Structure 1
Amino acid sequence: QEQALKEMQELTTLLSDYSQGKSVNTGQGTDAGNTATGTANGSVASLTDAVTLLESARQDAVANQSEQAADKVVQFIALWPSVEGHVQISDPTSYTAIENEMTETSGYLLSSPPNTDKAIQTLDQMLNRLRPLTEERSYTAWDAALILLREGLEAILVLAALLAYAKKSGEAVAGRWIWAGAGTGLVLSGILAVLFTTLVAAAASGSMRELLEGVTGLVAVVLMLTVGSWLHSKSNAAAWNRFVENSVGNALARGSLWSLFAVSALAILREGAETAIFYVGMAPAIETSQLLIGIGSATIILVILAFAIIKFSVRLPIRAFFLTATVLIYYLVFRFLGESIHSLQVAGKLPGHTASSLPSISWLGMYPTWETFVPQIAVLIFMVWQLVRQEMRSSKQQ
């Protein structure tokens, strides 16, 4: 009866709009269908739209219409990037859980035979997390600061390691290339954020952003693996001294400078565009003074952290410094790899096969899908092998 009344109300609205000469889409007969179609045509999707899709998918799953339910879950995944910023700001725990649960739900519905009981269970969990967040709320300076702190810390760690290396080598030109890369990444982040929020439809901007994060993240992983291996090769004091001697009067090799530029630019670009879009989404629900206070205070904290990390790192002995820098870079490689593959999954470019036995650890960028788990384990084995091989080589040279 409830569903019949809902459909009757929608039909009444549809005919009323038609009689007034308004453009309507007769190809979709449900709220969920109209939500997906409207979003694709460029209207701004809301969290309420996302909840409507999930409720419709749940009704289909209860009716054992697994294919229709799966289609609506896929529509929800396509819509998700447009609303995830609101969820992540409001409830980071629910944000992480929903990103895992939506791929799980799709897997349950598309399995043979469909596991509708499990699908309904995860849909209920998602709805319970999202419904309270649909209420109007205002943000504070703390919320604004938290975004920049969370997104900026990873980029700061990469920059701090690279800048500490440049300072320790005594090569001022290397530092300039690193800062130039960071500045380039920051400018590109702003440009992309403006393009995504003003020239592209909300759904497209979300999926494009996820695609951008995934691609730039994977490129950064390759570059950081190279830089990490290079840093570790200098952990032997004799090797470092030979490098410094060869570099005197010739600065660094041009290829090394471009690598440092690219890594710093990608580290900023990957986080910067997302941060800017989050702030654009937050702006209507926060006072300008609170937004500026939050951004300003977070910037000061990040600058202090970067200064402290660089200063502390430079004072370390040669071996300890390079081992620390290498481990830090390798940690970010592991995390970026998982997050980048996950971004491509959310963008719909890669499948997601979930398993309850796989770990889900946000600070390691680990998600319970085989597509993220297997590459992360493979790169972990490679990094450990690189460390052990270089340590054995260093011990022989001493």
Structure 2
Amino acid sequence: MLVPFLIMLREGLEAALIVGIVAGYLSRSGRGAWMPAVWTGIFLAAALALFVGAGLQLASAEFPQRTQELFEALVGFTAVAILTSMVLWMRKAARSLKSELQGSIDAALSGTRAQGLALVGLVFFAVAREGLESVFFLLAIFQQSPGAAGPLGALLGIFVSALLGYAIYVGGVRLDLARFFRWTGVFILFVAAGLLAGSLRHLHEAGVWNQLQAPIFDLSGILPEDGLVGSVLSGLFGYLADPTVGEAIAYLAYLAGALALFLRPAAPAPARPRPAPALR
């Protein structure tokens, strides 16, 4: 429950911040009448995410066992790729996100035709990206940790993120967003490493990957994955009670590379050229 909650809290807060920036800029620039177009874009993006998620879930239910394992592996690999790109993109784009969105709004509303459609499209694509990221992540998590706790945690994360987003928009709550996204980014990379190792296991069970299958250790009798502590460690860090050599290599190699990219110092902003002194 904790992992879906934290991920959806982050994803939901990203979407809420985007919507808040758009809504705030429209209000400050005297274009609040365009807010119905914003809500239309949000509704269409949410409907797309739900449709894709439901479609993939229903399709996978009809697969035979081997194909099911292969499907779960592909969903896991897709979730790892999306989570990694999302974390690294947010690290790079956070400083310029507000100005880029405001520039896109001005461009969307500067034309003489289809201004509403342009604004709907802007909000739709911005929110749909967050929604589709969440779909693949949740599918991968729910497949590895079935039960009602995961969906409940995800819904709670969305609810809390919506409340925080609204509180930030009206100015009643101040969050250190840079620190929030930094620490949740580290957490997401640990989750992605666990998904990668778990996806390799699904590939093996599908008969596709059979290399490096020697177990390193087996803690099933001491710390089983379905126990209380084991399930928490499995959700947070991708713990496996009996990891193989291949799974351990994938986990550690991914984590080392992803953390190095994410935690490296940000490049300094280019210095603005000083204006030339006026000639007398």
- Please name the residue that 1:393 is paired with: 267
More helix by share: 1
8 Å CA contact 1:186, 1:269 repeated in 2: no
Is 1:260 the equivalent of 2:130?
yes
Mapped pair 1:338 → 2:211? no
Q: Which residue of 2 aligns with 1:245?
A: 102
What's the CA shift string for 1:95-142, capped at 9, x where partnerless?
A: xxxxxxxxxxxxxxxxxxxxxxxxxxxxxxxxxxxxxxxxxxxxxxxx
CA distance in 2, matches of 1:383, 1:175: 33
Unaligned 5+ runs, structure 1: 1-148, 197-204, 280-294
Change (3 A) 1:174 1:321: farther
Of residues 300, 303, 316, the one that matches 2:155 is 303
Cα distance change on mapping 1:178 and 1:396 into 2, 3 Å: farther
1:372 aligns with 2:265: no
Query: How many angstroms does 1:265 deviate by?
Result: 2.6
Contact 2:190–2:255 (8 Å) recurs in 1: no
* Counterpart residue identity of residue 365, structure 1: G
What is the letter of the counterpart of residue 258 of structure 2?
M
Deviations 1:332-389 (A, max 9, x none): 2122112111221222221222223999953322442121111222221222222233
Give the distance between the partners of 1:243 and 1:328, measured in 2 at CA. Answer: 27
**1:354 equivalenced with 2:222 (yes/no):** no
Select 1:162's aligned residue among 11, 26, 43. 11
Which ranges in structure 2 are unaligned for 5 or more consecutive residues?
23-37, 109-118, 226-232, 273-280
Secondary structure of the corresponding residue to residue 216 of structure 1:
helix
CA distance in structure 2 between the partners assigned to 1:240 and 1:298 by the alignment: 31
- Residue identity in the other structure for 1:378: A
Q: Does 1:217 align with 2:76?
A: yes
Q: CA RMSD in A?
A: 3.8
Aligned to 1:354, the other structure's residue is in SS state: coil
Distance 1:158 1:353, change over 3 A: same
1:160 is paired with a residue whose SS is helix
Query: Residue 93 of structure 1 aligns with which residue?
Result: none
Deviation of the 1:187 alpha carbon: 3.6
Corresponding residue for residue 186 of structure 2 = 327
> What is the aligned-residue identity percentage?
17
CA distance in 2, matches of 1:188, 1:337: 19
After superposition, what is the alpha-carbon deviation per residue over 1:206-264, rounded to whole angstroms, capped at 9, x for unaligned? 3322211111110111121111111111344xx34333333334465987666434322
User: Which amino acid in 1 is paired with 2:256?
Assistant: I
TM-score normalised by length of structure 2:
0.61
Normalising by structure 1, report the TM-score.
0.45
Instruction: Letter of the 1:356 partner, please give it.
Output: F
Question: Given residue 100 of structure 2, which amino acid in structure 1 is its aligned partner?
Answer: F
State whether residues 161 and 310 of structure 1, in contact with CA within 8 Å, keep that contact through their aligned partners in structure 2: no
Classify 1:307/1:183 alpha carbon distance in 2 versus 1 (closer, same or farther; 3 Å): same
User: For the residues of structure 2 that align with 1:260 and 1:298, how far apart are their CA atoms?
Assistant: 18
Q: Against the structure 1 CA distance between its residues 167 and 176, is the aligned structure 2 distance closer, same or farther, given a 3 Å change threshold? A: farther
Contact 2:76–2:140 (CA under 8 A) maintained in structure 1: yes
Instruction: Sort the Cα spacing of 1:268 and 1:392 in 2 relative to 1 into closer, same or farther, 3 A.
Output: closer
1:306 maps to a residue whose letter is I
Partner SS, residue 80 of structure 2: helix
Aligned residues: 217
Q: Which amino acid aligns with 1:246?
A: G
- Over 3 Å counting, the alpha-carbon distance change for 1:242 and 1:191 in structure 2 is same
CA drift of 1:185 comes to: 0.7
Is contact 1:338-1:366 (8 Å) kept? no
The 1:223/1:348 distance shift into structure 2, 3 A limit, reads same
Structure 1 counterpart of 2:234, one-letter code: S
